[in-house]
Structure 1
Amino acid sequence: MQRRYFLRTSLAALPLAAAPVALAPPAADRNTRGFKASAGEGRYHGHLQLKGVNQNILDVKVSGKDTNGDLAIFEQTSRSQGRGTPLHVHLGQDEIFYVLDGEYAFQVGEDRHRLRTGDSIFLPRHVPHAWTQVSPRGHMLVTMQPAGKLEEFFVAMAALKTEPTPQEVAQLFAAHDMKVVGPPLKVD
C-alpha cells in the first residue's frame, strides 16, 4: 500500500518539477517574436553561394541567433551532382536532413542510405557521416541541434575566393567544431 501511495504522489508531482523550466522567461538574447522566412530568402545572409566541398546555395531559415543557439535550420539548393561532404563528425550537434527534391547518398557510421524526395535521415553527433548529391539538382532542409558554429561555417565557405584544398577544408571544419575523418562519399 505504501508503494502505491509513493508512486501515485511521485507521478502527481512530475508536472510541478517541470514547471520552473516551462515557466522560465526566455533568455535575454533569444528572439521572443515569431517571424516568417519567405521562399527564396535567407534570414540574415541572403543566398550563401558555397565555394567549398560543393557549389550549392544555402539560405538560413532559422538562425542560431533566433534561438539562443538551440537550433538552426538551413534550406540547401543543390547544384553539384556527384559532389558532397568529406566524411566528418560534428562534435556537439545532431543533424537532420529532409529531402525536398532530388536524390542523395548518405553514409552514417558504417551504414549507407539513398534518400529521395520525402525521405529524412538523422545523423547523431560524434558519428562519422557524409553525403553526396546523386541527382542533377536537389533541395534539402537541414536542421542542426544545437546550432553550434555551422552557420558561421557556411558564411566562411561562401566568402572563399577559390575552391579550398583538402587541407584548407579540414582547417575550416576544425575551426567550426567539426572534424574531417575521411574522403567524400563515392557514389556507384
Structure 2
Amino acid sequence: MIQQFPDDTFPDGKAEAFWFLGGQSRILVPGSETGGALSVMEFLDTAGHAPPRHIHEDEDEVWIVLDGEVSFFVADKRLDLHTGQIAHGPRGVPHSYLVRSPTARLAVAFAPSRIEGWFSANGTPATPLDEEPAAFDIGSILASADDFRLRVAGPPPTE
C-alpha cells in the first residue's frame, strides 16, 4: 500500500527546521501519520559533527546519505558511506556517525517513532536569519534521554 502524506501535514507544506546538537533537523514523516510505527527525519550537519555513541533500546535506525560523506559506527564496525548509500543501526547496539565532508544531509528512519519526541523536545527553532547553530546544553539533552530509553555508550567518534 502506498501512502501519500497530506499537504497540510506541515505548515506551508514544509517541515519546520530546528537546531539539535549543532546541526539542523526536520521531521519529514511524523509518527503521528504512521500510527507510531515509523518516523523519518532529516539532519544537516557540518564537517566533524558526531553525536556521542549511544544505544536506542526501542528503535531501529536506518541512515540514508542524501548528500556528503559520513562514517557510521555500529558496534565495532566502521562504514564509510557517501551520497546514496544506506546503513542500519539496530536497536540495542551502540552506534554513532561522523561527518567527513564539509556538509552532509541525512534522512534517518526510526521504527517505531517515539524517539522523534526527544529530538523535537530538545531542539531550538531555526530561522532563515540564523547565521550560527543555536547554543545547546548537552547535559540537559542527555538528562532527558532516559525517558526515551536512549543511553550514551561512549564519546563521539573521531577520525
For 1:173 and 1:185, the matched residues in 2 are separated by 19
Q: CA deviation at 1:155?
A: 1.4
Cα distance change on mapping 1:34 and 1:106 into 2, 3 Å:
closer
1:138 aligns with 2:104: yes
- Give 2:49's match in structure 1, choosing from 60, 83, 87: 83
1:179 aligns with 2:151: yes
Point out which structure has higher relative CO (alpha carbons under 8 A, 6+ apart).
2
- The percent identity for this pair of structures is 27
Aligned twin of 1:98: 64
1:57 aligns with 2:27: no
TM norm structure 2:
0.82
**Equivalent residues in 2 for 1:1-188, closer than 5 Å:** 34-36=5-7, 41-42=14-15, 46-50=16-20, 52=21, 55-78=22-45, 80-148=46-114, 150-159=115-124, 162-165=135-138, 167-187=139-159
Q: CA deviation at 1:98?
A: 0.5
CA contact (8 A) 2:5 2:33 kept: no
CA contact (8 A) 1:48 1:154 kept: no
Aligned twin of 1:3: none
Aligned length: 147
Aligned residue type for 2:107: L
Aligned residue type for 1:170: L
CA contact (8 A) 1:87 1:128 kept: yes
Runs of 4+ in 1 over 3 A off after TM superposition: 159-162
For 2:135 and 2:107, the matched residues in 1 are separated by 26
C-alpha RMSD over aligned residues:
2.4
CA contact (8 A) 1:81 1:133 kept: yes
Secondary structure of the residue aligned to 1:156 is: helix
Which ranges of structure 2 fall in alignment gaps of 5 or more residues?
Answer: 126-133
Q: CA deviation at 1:41?
A: 2.4
Cα distance change on mapping 1:33 and 1:137 into 2, 3 Å:
closer
TM norm structure 1:
0.70
Cα distance change on mapping 1:35 and 1:69 into 2, 3 Å:
same
Q: CA deviation at 1:86?
A: 0.5
Which ranges of structure 1 fall in alignment gaps of 5 or more residues?
Answer: 1-31
Q: CA deviation at 1:94?
A: 0.3
Cα distance change on mapping 1:114 and 1:60 into 2, 3 Å:
same
